[in-house]
Structures are given as structure tokens and as C-alpha cells.
Amino acid sequence: MQNKYAPKSLLIATGLAWLFDAMDVGMLSFVIAALKLEWHLNEVQLGWIGSVSSIGMALGAILFGILADRLGRKDVLIMTLLVFSIGTGLSALTTGYASFIILRFFVGTGLGGELPVASTLVSENVPVESRGRIVVLLESFWAGGWLVAAIISYFVIPVWGWRIALLFSALPALYALYLRYGLRESQSYIKKNSLVKQERPELITALKELWSPRYARATLMLWVVWFMVVFSYYGMFLWLPSVLVLKGYSIIHSFGYTLIMTLSQLPGYFVAAWLVERLGRKWVLTFFLLGTAVSALGFGTVDGISSILLFGILLSFFNLGAWGTLYAYSPEQYPLEIRGTGTGVAAGVGRIGGVLGPLMVGSLISQGASFTIIFGVFCISIIIAVIMIVVYGHETMGKVLDN
């Protein structure tokens, strides 16, 4: 136990990195709504802004996940922060759609890499009896980032414009410098690396191991669940302010309503964090995903701001609680030698869903499809994820990781 971090200090150090990541993603949803008006973009072009970020996130999750097993968790975490914060700062200076899209790709690589690397670092360095709760609480910083993004967007974009708002997302570059000296490498990684450095599996070997008989069920389950969860999340939440505008509300009201919905993400995380060490990862994830499916269908069906807010709040509550549980569940499927690779590749497969989700929404809206149909697709995708967890998932609560 002496090799473990103090859970609170590790949680805060990595959680702030997570918050900055979420702030950038959350800011993008508001920037998309502003760009539609300023650059006169159509729905398909707007969909590509979200999707090209997810293409970068897919590659970043895989690349940096693999690097984390070779260079260490700490250095790769810092790398990802620098990539996405510098890219975001540069994107605030763009004057056209094409250059903005290119920079969003590079921002996405850093964003996609940071999340699985941070969750792996935390999973390996907190006591087993509180590991699930700590990782879910780490994910709760995502809600804090979205909340910061919503507040900045609500007060800054209408007055000073989206460029100034994006500059706030460049600040993590300074935090990366702090992490360089204030964060220690995973003690499990250091210990195992010193003992088996010559035996560390090559990349192809590590990828094959994910599909070996021992891990194939877990890998299949994680890939499908990650794909469906990310597909629905980015399809719904990147479009959320724009959907409200399309429903007839002004951009100011749309930002305000999204801010209210965002507030419910925090209790979603906290409830999931409380339950995950009592009921286990598998069933908490199942419960929160079922709640997400029902809420998505309701949000797409109802009219009237009271009903929209109710289902939007429930959608945020259940969806983000599920995200937190999934990040706790994923690293526990694999041994240390392939843990970063396994978690990163699963997240990378998920990001392919993040590419398709926003594109699908933009395409269906341009074809005149109703929001009931659009959110019905997301409801079905979540149900598929639930089936995979129930059939192929196994409980990992209390599992001692090899470190």
C-alpha cells in the first residue's frame, strides 16, 4: 500500500486534466451553434466539425494508449494535454472552415489520448477497495469541465465571440507544465517495467493478446459498448445547443437551457460512484445505460420547455454516470502489460462511433427527419450496449490488479 498515491491528491491532479479535456469538448458544442450563424454552415458541415474531432480522438486513444505502455503514464498524459491545448489555442485564430476542421483533428488526438491514460494511471495507484469509486469520481471532473464550458459560453460567446471562449481552452498547456513536476509516474508501471522490460510485448503481440481466448469476450464487449456509448453521447451532446435552436429557441436561451441540463451531470457521477462499490461495475453500468436509453427517447419525443428540460436533465444524469462507470470497468479487464493498450484501443474504437454520431444527426436533420427518429436511433444503440454487458460482461469489483 505504500506504493500507492494518496487517492485524493492523485484524483485532483488527474481530475483537473480531465476537466480541461471536457471543457474543450463542451465548448465545441456551443462553438458549433455560433459558427452556424457566423459562417452560414449547413447541418452536414456542422456534423463534420464534431466528427473530425472524433476521428482524431480515435487515433489519439489508440496511439497514446499504446505509448502509455511503453513510455509511461505520466509523460504520455502530459503530451496529450499539450497537444489538445495548443491546438485549441490555434483554432481560435482560424478564419475559415477548412483550417478549423484540420486543427480540430489535432485537438481530437490529444483529447482522445488523455482520457484512457488518466484512468489507467488512477486505476493502478489507488487501493482496490476504493478503485471504482475513485475512477468514477475522476470522471465527475468531466461534468465540471462541461459546466465551466457552459458558463463561459453563456457569458462570453454572445458578447465577445467564440474565439475568446476557445482561448480559455488553451490554458491546460500551463497545467501540463505543473504536472511535469507535480505528478509521479505510476508506481505499478515503474515496478513492472523494471522487472520485465525485456519481455514487454511488441505492439502486434499486444493487439493479438486482446483477442486471445482469455480476453476475447472482454474485448468484444468493451469494443461494442464503447462504440455505442460514444456514438450516442457525441451524437446527442455535441448537437444539444443546436437542437434547441432548431426547436425554435434563441441561441441565448439554448445556451442557458444546456447549462441547466449540464448541472445534472454531477449528481449522476456521484450516485454512480456511490453505487459502483456496492452493486458492482456491471450492474451499475447496465442500470445507467438503461436510464440513458429511456431519457434519449423521451428527449426526442417531447415538446415544451418543461418536458425538454426534464428529459435533458435525466439524459445528462444517466449518460454521464454510465461514462464514469465504463472508465472504471475498462482497465480492470486486462493485465498491466496490455492495460493501456486494451483501454486505449477500446476507447479508440468508441471514437469511431463519435465520428458517425454527429454526422448521422446532421444528415438526418438535412433530410427532414424528426427528432423522435434521431433520438430513437440513439436509444436502440444504447440497448445494444446493455445486451453486450449482460451477456459478455463479468464483474470486476474487488479484483486485485497485477501490480
Domain boundaries, the chain: 7-182+208-392
Task: Over range 55-64, report the average pLDDT.
Answer: 84
Task: Over range 390-395, report the average pLDDT.
Answer: 91
Q: At what angle do helices 251-263 and 131-160 cross, to 10 degrees?
A: 160
Q: 28-42, 150-164, 306-320, 334-348 — which one is most confidently predicted on average?
A: 306-320
- Reply yes or no on whether the pLDDT at 389 is more than 70: yes
Higher pLDDT, 378 or 94: 378
pLDDT at position 51: 79
Q: Is the dihedral of CA 353, 237, 11, 267 positive or negative?
A: negative
Distance of CA 179 to the CA centre of its chain: 21
Task: Over range 186-205, report the average pLDDT.
Answer: 58
Where residue 4 falls among pLDDT bands split at 50, 70, 90? Answer: very low
Where residue 198 falls among pLDDT bands split at 50, 70, 90? Answer: very low
Cell (9 digits) for 273 = 460512484
Distance of CA 156 to the CA centre of its chain: 24
Helices (H), 72-210: 73-91, 97-123, 131-160, 162-168, 172-182, 187-196, 203-210
Amino acid at 354: G
Where residue 297 falls among pLDDT bands split at 50, 70, 90? Answer: very high
Higher pLDDT, 59 or 385: 385
pLDDT at position 192: 57
Where residue 167 falls among pLDDT bands split at 50, 70, 90? Answer: confident
The DSSP element (H or E) to which 237 belongs, if any, is helix 216-237
pLDDT at position 195: 44
For residue range 201-247, what is the model confidence (pLDDT) as tens digits?
A: 666 777 888 899 999 999 999 999 999 999 998 888 878 877 888 88
Report the range of poorest mean pLDDT among 130-144, 173-187, 301-315.
173-187
- Reply yes or no on whether the pLDDT at 279 is more than 50: yes
Where residue 2 falls among pLDDT bands split at 50, 70, 90? Answer: very low
- Reply yes or no on whether the pLDDT at 182 is more than 70: no
Residue 229 and residue 218: Cα distance in Å, rounded? 16
pLDDT at position 1: 38
Q: Do the beta carbons of residue 274 and residue 49 sit within 8 Å?
A: no
Cell (9 digits) for 348 = 479508440
- Other beta carbons within 10 angstroms of residue 247's beta carbon come to 14
Q: 80-84, 246-250, 281-285 — which one is most confidently predicted on average?
A: 281-285
- First vs last C-alpha separation in the chain: 11
Residue 169 and residue 87: Cα distance in Å, rounded? 9
pLDDT at position 224: 96
Q: What pTM was computed for the model?
A: 0.73
Task: Over range 190-205, report the average pLDDT.
Answer: 58
- Residues of the chain above pLDDT 90, percent: 22
Would you call 59 exposed, middle or buried from its count of C-beta atoms within 10 A (0-12, 13-18, 19+)? middle
For residue range 60-78, what is the model confidence (pLDDT) as tens digits?
A: 878 887 787 777 777 788 8
What DSSP letter does each residue of 357-397 carry, written as one string?
A: HHHHHHHHHHTT--HHHHHHHHHHHHHHHHHHHHHH----T
Residue 99 and residue 334: Cα distance in Å, rounded? 39
- Name which CATH class applies to 7-182+208-392: mainly alpha
- Reply yes or no on whether the pLDDT at 315 is more than 90: yes
Q: Do the beta carbons of residue 144 and residue 14 sit within 8 Å?
A: no
Task: Over range 103-107, report the average pLDDT.
Answer: 91
pLDDT averaged over the chain? 82
- Other beta carbons within 10 angstroms of residue 289's beta carbon come to 27
Work out the angle at residue 350's Cα, subtended by the Cα atoms of residues 348 and 354, and round it to the nearest 5 degrees.
Answer: 105
